[in-house]
Structures are given as C-alpha cells and as structure tokens.
A and B are shown apart, each in its own frame.
Chain A
Amino acid sequence: MHPESTKELLINMGPQHPATHGVLRLILEVEGELIKKCVPYIGYLHRGVEKLSEDLTYVQVLPLTDRLDYLSSMINNVGFCIAVEKLMGINVPERAKFIRTIMSEVARICSHLVWIATHALDIGAMTVFLYAMRDREKLLELFELVTGARLTVSYPRVGGVRCDINQEFLDELHKFIEEFPKKVEEYETLIDRNRVWLKRTKGVGVITAEEAINWGLTGPTLRGSGVYYDVRKFFPYDAYDKVDFEVPIGKNGDIYDRYKCRMLEFRQSAKIIKQCIEKLPEGSILAEDAPKIRMPASPLKIDKNDIQFEIYIEDKSTEDFIKKFTEVYASVEAPRGELGFYIVCDDSAKPYRMRVRAPSFVHAGVLPRLCEGALIADVIANIGSIDIVLGECDR
C-alpha cells in the first residue's frame, strides 16, 4: 500500500467519557494503540468566575470559589479568604486559624479519597472506589454537622470562620482519624502489592524533576518527581507553622510515585488534624475588623502604611496610580497543587481584578507531554494520576 494512503486514526476522547474526570476533551492521533499526538481541549465548564467576581463584592465572591474545585471547596474558600485578609491586613484569631487548618485537611482527605477512588476505577480496580466512598461519606457528614452543607461549604469567612465547631464534631473527627490509617492500609492491600497495578503504574508517565518545574507542576504531581515544594512549608498560612508534619516526596516521577505521595499524604493529613484538635485554643472565631455584609457594600478599608515604592520615570500620575491599585498574591496548598489568588484592589467594594491560579489548568497542559508515545490505556492512567478537576481548570 502507498504510504500516502494510510493515515492515523483520530479518536475523540471526551467531553463525555467515563474516564476524563468531567468534561475534558482529548483529540488522540493513534497508530494502532500508540499515541502519536494528544491535544487537550478545555473550556467546556468555563463560567467566567474571574469576570463575574469583578462585578461582586468581596464577600459575594466567596461562594463562587466553592465552584472551582468542587471536591475540596473548603480549601478554595480558605485561599480566597487568605488573599483578602492579606490585602486588608486583617489578623485572624488563633482559634479560627486552627479550625481552618482542621477543615482544610479534612477537605484534603476527602479530595484524595475521590482521587484514589476514580484513579483505581480508571485502571480497572472497581472495589477501591466503594471503599473510598464509604470513608468520604463519613467526612461529608462531619462537614454537614458544622457547616450545614456537604460539598459547597462556604464555611470560612474573610477574617475567620462562619460558625464555631462543637465538641460532638471534635469527638467524631477524632474517632475517625484514629481509625483512618487502618483504612488507608485497606486500600493499599487491594492495590499496592497487586502486580497488575504495579505494571500499570511503574515507569509510566515519567516526568523528571527539571521538567516538572519547567512545566509548572505543583502539589503531589510535582512531589512525585522528587521536588520538595509545598506551600504549607514554604509560605506557611493558617496554623501550619504550629503543627509538625512531613511532606512525602517520590523519586521517579512516574504514576506510581505520584500515587504513593498522595497515599502518604493521607497519613500526614490525619497527623495534622490530630495535632490541631489537641492544640485547639479558645477564643473568638472572627476578627473584629472583618468585612460585614452590607447593602450597598461599603468600600474596603485598606491599611496602606507598609507601601513602599520608587519611581524612575517622570510622570506625575504614576504615584497616585501606584497608591490606588494595591495588589496581593496569596496561595494555599490545595489537594491538587498550589491554588493562588491574585487580587488587584482599587479601594472600592469589589475586586478590580481577581485571578485564580488553578493547578488543574497547569496540570491539564502537561497531559500531551505525558501521553505522547504511550498507549491509550496510559492516557487514562495519566489523567488519573495528575488528578484534575475541570471545574477548577476551566473556572
């Protein structure tokens, strides 16, 4: 047959496909089972959160952040609150900081549970899915106990948290955390020493440390390649500098190491929660100068004493401009990586510009690099291992 008369098969994977974790669409150019080219298309879940938030007050933006990464909405809320607190110069009470840390880690466990469930299901191990969902259910019930919501919690507030936690919650949580490492072992007995699982994950989707940094990966996806970077350790927020925990890192940067990192994070999260419960201080849960919900919204009062600048051009208006537009970037360690909020403020009640640095967006971008040259089955394993949530990716 003539070489011109053959061509690669184009496969359109998604946006409706059981293993693309939402509405990711991949155009795969395959030769038999081998992938020659992989082009991701995103944007099917684009709701314009950044544009919308320019028309809402700071307090109103908070529920929007729930809808970014809907599996760990608590951490998104915390990230946004921290950015606004940094902008306004609010000091959060200690108790609120600890509560937020507890809640963040519970959300991390929840999110990782969904990850292990779906990742294992993608590779074909069905049973892990239900085991993980069983434990997530308990945590969601705990969320419900405190916040009244299971998924989109909107629990933290700028300057603290919405409501206090009670003893019942702490007891239940403590009980859960005590048994949780055993549950993690249970998932590991199902897959960790399984030859099929090892064959499917070891040496697949390898990305080296330098490349991982160059591609801007964060979170467990980066740490699987052996790079030590964790926002909780590098730029501590909330109560993370008051608790003792380790950041697990991998070595080879393959799917297995990324999997292992997250499995170890389960245990570290449990450790953090335990310490936080022990150290939980008494006191108020909301700062006194926290912004209140008012109609019409009042402008933000920003303390601009620590602004410091130097101008090298001759333009009179520049100084006013610099003083008017203050801006901060604050990031938190979301289950998927570094979730950053960049807020430009023009002294009005609404953010002038809010930018969400979404880890899933960056990680979806690395998919072609991981998939090209692999087999179709590896694409699914790779999507699972970088753990993307399309709500956050498309914003």
Chain B
Amino acid sequence: METFYFILITTIKTAIYFGILMLHVAYATYAERKIIGHIQLRLGPMVVGPHGLLQPIADVIKLIFKEDIIPSNVDRKIFTIAPLISLTAALSTFAVIPVSQNWFISDINVGILYVLGIAGIGTYGIIFAGWSSNSKYAFLGGLRSAAQMISYEVALAMSLVGVILMAESFNLTEIVNKQLEYSYGMFLFPQFLGYFVFIVAMLAETNRVPFDLPEAETELVAGYFVEYSGIRFSLFYLAEYLAMFCMSALATICFWGGWTVPPFLLKIFPFLGMIPGVVWFLLKVYFHMFLFFWLRGTLPRYRYDQLMAIGWKVLIPLALLNIVLTSLIKYYS
C-alpha cells in the first residue's frame, strides 16, 4: 500500500511539475521574442492578446495541428524517435532538481551526476536526427553537435567539481544547504572561475549564441532539425528550452545558493526572509534565462575550429586550475 501511495504521489507531483515547466517553456519563447525585440528596436509579438501575451498558446496550437512531413528517404524509425530522445532526456533532468527546501520529485544522493549524465543522452537525439534525416545540412549539424557536446560536457562537469569539493556532496539539496554555512552564502564568490567556465560551457551545451553552430541559421539553414516540421520540430524546440531551464537551475543551485538568501544580506535586510524560497529560486533562474536571450541579441557566432579551441585550450585548463586551487585551499584550511 505504501508503494502505491508513493507512486501516486510521485505521479501527481510529476504532473504538476510538468505542467508548470511547460508553461515556463511556452513563456520563455515569448520572453525571448520580447527581449530580443526590444534590443533590436522592435516590439516583438503584439497581435495575439494584450501585448501578444497569448502568442505562445497560438504557437503551440499551430505547431500541433501543422502537417507532419516526413521526407521519403529518411530512416523512418530513427527519424521519429530522435526528437523523443531529446525531449525525454531534457525532461528527466528535472526529476532531481529541487525548487525549494523539500520541493522536489526525487532527492537522490548523486544529483549532479544524474543531471550531467541524462543531459548527455540528449545529444543522441541530435546526432540521430542529423544522421537519419539523410540531408547533408542536417548531417553536418549533427556532426558539429556531437563534437561540441562531447568537448563541452567535459568542461561543464569539471567546472562543477570545485562545487562538489566545497559541498562535499553530490546531492543538490545538500549543496544548497552547504552554501548557507558560509557567511557569503553563495559558491559564486569562491568559485568565480568555475562559474565562468560553467556559464560558457552552458551556452555551448544548449547550442545557444555564440555557440549555436549545430543550428547555425545562415550556414546550415537550421542544422540537425532542418528536415523536421510540425510537432516533431516543436519537440526539438521544447528540448532546447528545457535544457536551458535545466542549466539555469543547475547554475542557480550550484553557484547562486538556490532558494536561499545569503546570510549577510539577510542580516542587513531581515524582511527578505519573508519571501518564500521558491520565488528566489525562480528569480535566479530567470536571470540566467535572460542572460541567454541577452547574449543572443548581441553576439555573433563563433567558427567551428574556434569553438573547439575555446573548449579544449581555455575552458578545460581553467576548470582544472580551479579544481587544483579549490582542493589546495580545502586541504590547508
């Protein structure tokens, strides 16, 4: 009976979580269009609803009812399964992400490793899509993506080692609570090097500007999902935005102290403690999302060889240096 209740509650929690997440993704597209629009002297969506607020809903309806075209020469099985792999991987990562104290679906003790591992599986979706589309542009996009993901996953994981060392745990909740023990309340300050590497690797990992080579619009038209349309296309889109949210959440938890307020701030402004943790968490996630959009509005795109050079010659050495420094300090203090 206990098992039954556990399954029931988890299912309900997952459903609520899923619903909120989807709403977030839908409005992330809206926010992106609005923010980039204002950066670029435009208004962004304005027609559907007041200030275009209903635009994401109209988009979803359009994408669902659009004809799903499958080109005749594709590898049908893999072609249909690829977006699902991407989406599933992106969604599964949220299972361990705590939103507030005791607000999570599952609290496993290797949270960070789980997130990184599952995010890595998402790459398969992209490679499968590129390969099965039987299109050279998609193929090149898939190739680029494979190389990019593999090299930047190394940097991403390494940048988190410093955090793990300081928190002495893989558990995400534990990491957040550990940050409270320090007076500055965020790993951002001692781990600024790690944070920098994380932010850059996060952009590359989610294929965003300036590392959006797998889908470089002006080079590869749309990259790996060039042959996709309708609902399958939107699944890739969804996966991309979910990955952005996931990375933002990870950055928030590991470096920004998750849902907590730094103790020194709390001392000065005690009323900040009244605000529920989830609000802090969301605000920090939104900041990172804004960073994604902001960069997209300002930066050009790197070239493939330059991207690789940054990953292997700059980020990984920096991350290693960070690990050495952190462990030395940890050892001697």
Question: Taking beta carbons and an 8 Å cutoff, which residues of A are in contact with B?
Answer: 9-12, 17-19, 32-33, 120-127, 129-131, 134, 190-191, 194, 196-197, 199-200, 375-378, 380
Among candidates B136, B296, B304, residue contacting A377 with C-beta atoms closer than 8 Å: B304
Given contacts A124-B210, A377-B219, contact A199 B40 (CB under 8 A): no
Contact B40 A126 (CB under 8 A): yes
Contacts of A131 in B (CB 8 A): 40-41
**Could you list some 18 contacts between A and B, CB below 8 A?**
A12-B136, A17-B221, A19-B218, A120-B300, A123-B218, A123-B300, A124-B212, A124-B218, A126-B40, A126-B296, A130-B41, A131-B40, A190-B298, A199-B306, A200-B303, A376-B140, A376-B304, A378-B303
Contact B299 A11 (CB under 8 A): no
Contacts of B213 in A (CB 8 A): 377
Contact B41 A199 (CB under 8 A): no
Given contacts A17-B221, A124-B210, A131-B40, contact A196 B216 (CB under 8 A): no
Contacts of A120 in B (CB 8 A): 300
Given contacts A19-B219, A380-B219, contact A127 B40 (CB under 8 A): yes
Among candidates B144, B218, B302, B305, residue contacting A18 with C-beta atoms closer than 8 Å: B218
B residues 276-324 touching A (CB-CB < 8 Å): 296-306
Closest A residue to B42 by beta carbon equals A130
Interface size of B by CB at 8 A reads 32
Contacts of A18 in B (CB 8 A): 217-218, 221
B261 within 8 A of A: no
Contacts of B306 in A (CB 8 A): 199-200
| A361-B143 Cα distance, complex, nearest whole Å | 34
Among candidates B42, B137, B209, residue contacting A124 with C-beta atoms closer than 8 Å: B209
| A380-B304 Cα distance, complex, nearest whole Å | 13
**Would you give the shortest CB distance from B200 to chain A, in whole angstroms?**
12
Contacts of B42 in A (CB 8 A): 130
| A196-B200 Cα distance, complex, nearest whole Å | 14
- Chain A's interface: helix, strand, loop or mixed, by majority? helix
Contacts of A191 in B (CB 8 A): 300
Contacts of A10 in B (CB 8 A): 136
0/1 string, B135-156, CB within 8 A of A gives 1: 0110110011000000000000
Contact B300 A194 (CB under 8 A): yes
**Would you give the shortest CB distance from A126 to chain B, in whole angstroms?**
7
B91 within 8 A of A: no
B39 within 8 A of A: yes
Contact A134 B41 (CB under 8 A): yes
Closest B residue to A28 by beta carbon equals B136
Contacts of B140 in A (CB 8 A): 11, 33, 376
Among candidates B139, B298, B302, B304, residue contacting A127 with C-beta atoms closer than 8 Å: B298
Contacts of B143 in A (CB 8 A): 32
Contact A194 B299 (CB under 8 A): yes
**Would you give the shortest CB distance from B227 to chain A, in whole angstroms?**
15
Closest B residue to A124 by beta carbon equals B301
0/1 string, B206-225, CB within 8 A of A gives 1: 00011011001111110000
Contact B302 A199 (CB under 8 A): yes
| A167-B297 Cα distance, complex, nearest whole Å | 39
**Would you give the shortest CB distance from A184 to chain B, in whole angstroms?**
16
Knowing that A19-B218, A123-B301, A126-B40 touch, tell me 18 more A-B residue pairs with CB under 8 angstroms. Answer: A10-B136, A18-B218, A19-B219, A33-B305, A122-B218, A124-B209, A124-B299, A124-B301, A125-B300, A131-B41, A194-B299, A194-B300, A196-B300, A200-B300, A200-B302, A200-B306, A375-B303, A376-B219
Contacts of B246 in A (CB 8 A): none
| A163-B40 Cα distance, complex, nearest whole Å | 37
| A123-B22 Cα distance, complex, nearest whole Å | 32
